[in-house]
Amino acid sequence: MNRLARILGNRLFALSTLIGIGIWLLVVPALTGGLGANPVEKLLHLTGEIAIWMLGAVLALSPLRALFPKSRIVAALNRHRRAIGVSACIYALLHLAAHVVYEGGLDGLLRSFSKPFIWYGAAGLSILIILAVTSNQFSIRSLGGRNWKLLHRLAYIAAALLVYHQAIAGKGHWHTGRWLFFPLASLQLARITKQLFMRPARKHRATAILTTVANAR
Amino acid sequence: MSDHCIRDRDLAAVAAATPEPYYLRRREFLRLFGLGVAASAFLPLTSQAASTGFPDALNAGYKLDGVKITPEDLVTSYNNFNEWGQAKDQPKELANRGWKTRPWSIEIGGLCANPRKMDVDELIQLLGPIERRNYRHRCVEAWSMVIPWDGFPLAKLVDLAQPKGEAKYVRFASFFDSANCRAQRSNDFPWPYTEGLTIEESRHELAFLAVGLYGKPLPNQNGAPIRLVVPWKYGFKSAKSLAKIEFVAEQPKTLWNQLAPNEYGFYANVNPNVDHPRWSQKSERVIGAGFFSGKQATLMFNGYEKQVGHLYAGMDLRKNF
């Protein structure tokens, strides 16, 4: 267990996994003709899926830490939240690039902006970019820990926007969104529940809930 | 090629499992015998198979000049067939894991003078000869292909059934086989897949029942053994792997229309001027055109306006989308 935790906590391991996912799912199929009949669409979908699952992974890590404070594995994975978050942003940018190629010209690109799902995607991506740009020590210091934390809670808004973006982007795509949405929502709910029950009962219950909700991040 | 091997094996299995008196029924015998003669006359020995009515000839009226026919491997590896996966590259894989599309029973019923239930090959024999037509195919998801289908006009089947005067619509139902089709065990979709046409649409010369593509029996993933092809409507109207065709008085409920009535109308005619609520229908991505090909303009009624426009004369296509 300790050894697994050490491997999982290794920075190089994390980076090669995050880049490896892209090489394995995007680059190798692209070079070997494995993208199928509609390669641009495949890249479009894959980059989007990778981005949203990485965002989901980051958002799962902090409640997992609250739920399993003693787990070394969860602690090890939590070291990589920044790297995973920035990767999510990079894959989302690749997703945008694939969209530009898919539309094939300015006309199509502009026309795509007549549809709401593009706006949800663009809003989510904008948040990811802001969060990625401010994901360094310098930003934390200059914003102040509290403000920085508040700013980075936008990740939840981004996730909601992007799950919705995915759900309404295609014909039956809402079937995939739920696999992301319900687990994440359950984790958050479990964390809030746990914090409620762990809290000493001296405070009024309503205040306790409010504080817990406010503390949840 | 593997397609044929499977069919040969299936045929042998049917022969082995069927008591001899039944197996050697006259019609069956004639069919097999006739096919054998026809096949040995026209086909090289290796490709002889129990594929009713092949080879067929191109109907010169449906050559579709000036467009590039989509390569066969793309036609058979990219489509929506939700019974066999949500992704478009899944049906090729999932529909070929032991799903049997022969023998296949098909039922014609409802408000008609000549209802019947029979084996699909018997039906093909009745309605043949089969012919080839190159049709544009436009998916509601804004991609398109050009596909050489083999089959016969739906009108032939309608004539065979002799619908009664009160029959105003035709309802098409795909197979329901939750024992062998995992997706049908979930309630995500109101299975079986159902679609519908007005009786006038079903009698239109363009409405087609396909039993093959590229001169071979339909691969499972493309809707074997028999499917609807309505080239002026979005692809989802062309129901696959038909089990029942019914003549009805009321507009039938259809699968996508039930799931999202504001997005998938009963008519679902290809129309670049009426967007899907969530995406544009002005243009389409042509499958096989290349990575940087962009999109091409979508044509009214998918390019069949001259042939079908009169069916919808005076109709508000924005309302009846």
> By the CB < 8 Å criterion, does A39 face chain B?
yes
Report the sign of the C-alpha dihedral through residues B31, B32, B38, B44, in that order. positive
Neighboring chain B residues of A108 at a CB cutoff of 8 Å: 283, 294-295
- For the cut 90, the answer to whether the pLDDT of residue A54 exceeds it is yes
* DSSP notation for B41-106: HHS-GGG----TT-S-EE-GGG--TTSPPPPHHHHTTS---GGG-SSTTSHHHHTTSS---SS-EE
What does the pLDDT average to over A27-31? 94
Kindly report the average pLDDT of chain B as a whole number: 87
pLDDT at res. B137: 98
pLDDT at res. A177: 77
Closest Cα in chain B, distance from residue A41 (Å): 9
- For the cut 60, the answer to whether the pLDDT of residue A14 exceeds it is yes
Weakest-pLDDT range from A178-187, B32-41, B149-158, B244-253: B32-41
- Tokens found for residue B204: 């239109």
Q: From the list B74, B78, B86, which residue is nearest A175 (CB)? A: B86
Closest Cα in chain A, distance from residue B247 (Å): 29
pLDDT confidence band for A208 (50 / 70 / 90): low
What does the pLDDT average to over B165-178? 97
Mutation for testing the A interface, residue in B264, B275, B279 having most A CBs under 10 Å: B279
The Cβ of residue A19 has, within 10 Å, a number of other Cβ atoms equal to 13
CB B52 within 8 A of CB B211: yes
**Does the B59-312 domain belong in CATH 3.90.420.10?**
yes
> By the CB < 8 Å criterion, does B279 face chain A?
yes
CB contact under 8 A, A37 and B74: yes
CB contact under 8 A, B280 and A172: no
pLDDT at res. A195: 86
> By the CB < 8 Å criterion, does A178 face chain B?
no
CB A208 within 8 A of CB A196: yes
pLDDT at res. A2: 84
- For the cut 90, the answer to whether the pLDDT of residue B271 exceeds it is yes
Bridge partners (DSSP) listed for residue B135: B147
User: Which uninterrupted H or E stretch holds A78?
Assistant: helix A72-78
What does the pLDDT average to over B120-148? 95
B203-251: pLDDT as tens digits: 999 999 999 999 999 999 999 999 999 999 999 999 999 999 999 999 9
Tell which residue, B78, B73, B72, B229, has the closest CA to residue B151.
B229
pLDDT confidence band for B21 (50 / 70 / 90): very low
User: Which uninterrupted H or E stretch holds A143?
Assistant: helix A137-143
Tell which residue, B50, B14, B19, B17, has the closest CA to residue B32.
B50
B268 Rama sector, left if φ>0, alpha if ψ -120 to 50, beta otherwise: left
- Tokens found for residue B82: 């939700």
What are the C-alpha distances in Å from B212 to residues B17, B48, B75, B105, B269? Answer: 26, 15, 12, 17, 24
Neighboring chain B residues of A121 at a CB cutoff of 8 Å: none
- Tokens found for residue A169: 């982007």
CB contact under 8 A, A102 and B88: no
Which chain A residues in 134-173 lie under 8 Å from chain B, judged by CB atoms? 168-172
Closest Cα in chain B, distance from residue A106 (Å): 10
pLDDT at res. B203: 97
Mutation for testing the B interface, residue in A25, A38, A106 having most B CBs under 10 Å: A38
Neighboring chain B residues of A33 at a CB cutoff of 8 Å: none
Helices (H), A79-136: 81-103, 106-112, 116-133
Neighboring chain B residues of A101 at a CB cutoff of 8 Å: 291-292
What does the pLDDT average to over A7-14? 94
How far is the C-alpha of B217 from the C-alpha of B150, rounded, in Å?
8
B104-120: pLDDT as tens digits: 999 999 999 999 999 99
Helices A205-215, A174-198: axis angle to 10 degrees equals: 130
User: Which uninterrupted H or E stretch holds A189?
Assistant: helix A174-198
How far is the C-alpha of A2 from the C-alpha of A76, rounded, in Å?
10
CB contact under 8 A, A170 and B188: no
ipTM of the complex: 0.74
- For the cut 90, the answer to whether the pLDDT of residue B66 exceeds it is no
Q: From the list A37, A168, A170, which residue is nearest B78 (CB)? A: A37
- For the cut 50, the answer to whether the pLDDT of residue B28 exceeds it is no
CB B209 within 8 A of CB B131: no
> By the CB < 8 Å criterion, does B103 face chain A?
no
CB contact under 8 A, A116 and B288: no
> By the CB < 8 Å criterion, does A31 face chain B?
no
Weakest-pLDDT range from A163-167, B48-52, B237-241, B316-320: B48-52
pLDDT at res. B150: 97
CB contact under 8 A, A111 and B82: no
Closest Cα in chain B, distance from residue A100 (Å): 9
A122-154: pLDDT as tens digits: 999 999 999 999 999 999 999 998 999 999 999
pLDDT confidence band for B23 (50 / 70 / 90): very low
The count of CB pairs under 8 A between chains A and B is 65
Percentage above 90 pLDDT, chain A: 71
How far is the C-alpha of B147 from the C-alpha of B155, rounded, in Å?
20
What does the pLDDT average to over B16-45? 45
Helices A174-198, A39-67: axis angle to 10 degrees equals: 10
How far is the C-alpha of A43 from the C-alpha of A125, rounded, in Å?
17
- Tokens found for residue B169: 């619509």
CB B218 within 8 A of CB B212: yes
pLDDT at res. B24: 43
pLDDT at res. A125: 97
Report the sign of the C-alpha dihedral through residues B191, B197, B202, B204, in that order. negative
Contacts of A38 (CB under 8 A, 6+ apart): B78, B88, B143, B285, B287
CB B240 within 8 A of CB B193: yes
> By the CB < 8 Å criterion, does B273 face chain A?
no
How far is the C-alpha of A61 from the C-alpha of A189, rounded, in Å?
14
Contacts of A98 (CB under 8 A, 6+ apart): A40, A43, A44, A47
More confident residue, B305 or B38: B305
Closest Cα in chain B, distance from residue A34 (Å): 11
Tell which residue, A186, A190, A208, has the closest CA to residue A199.
A208
Kindly report the average pLDDT of chain A as a whole number: 89
Closest Cα in chain A, distance from residue B200 (Å): 28
pLDDT confidence band for B25 (50 / 70 / 90): very low
pLDDT at res. B44: 41
- For the cut 70, the answer to whether the pLDDT of residue B2 exceeds it is no
CB contact under 8 A, B88 and A37: yes
Neighboring chain B residues of A112 at a CB cutoff of 8 Å: 279-280
How far is the C-alpha of A54 from the C-alpha of A131, rounded, in Å?
14
pLDDT at res. B272: 96
Tell which residue, B225, B277, B217, has the closest CA to residue B119.
B225
Tell which residue, B206, B231, B229, B270, has the closest CA to residue B61.
B206
Mutation for testing the B interface, residue in A99, A106, A115, A171 having most B CBs under 10 Å: A171
CB B245 within 8 A of CB B106: yes
What phi and psi values does residue A79 have, to the nearest 5 degrees?
-65, -20
What does the pLDDT average to over B163-179? 97
CB contact under 8 A, A38 and B294: no
Q: Using only C-alpha atoms, what is the Rg of chain B?
A: 19
Beta strand pairing call for B242-248 and B169-174: antiparallel
CB contact under 8 A, B282 and A111: yes
pLDDT confidence band for A104 (50 / 70 / 90): confident
Report the sign of the C-alpha dihedral through residues A41, A44, A47, A48, in that order. negative
What is the domain partition of chain B in residue ranges?
A: 1-50, 59-312
CA atoms within 13 A on the CB side of B246: 17
CB B309 within 8 A of CB B301: yes
How far is the C-alpha of B107 from the C-alpha of B176, rounded, in Å?
13
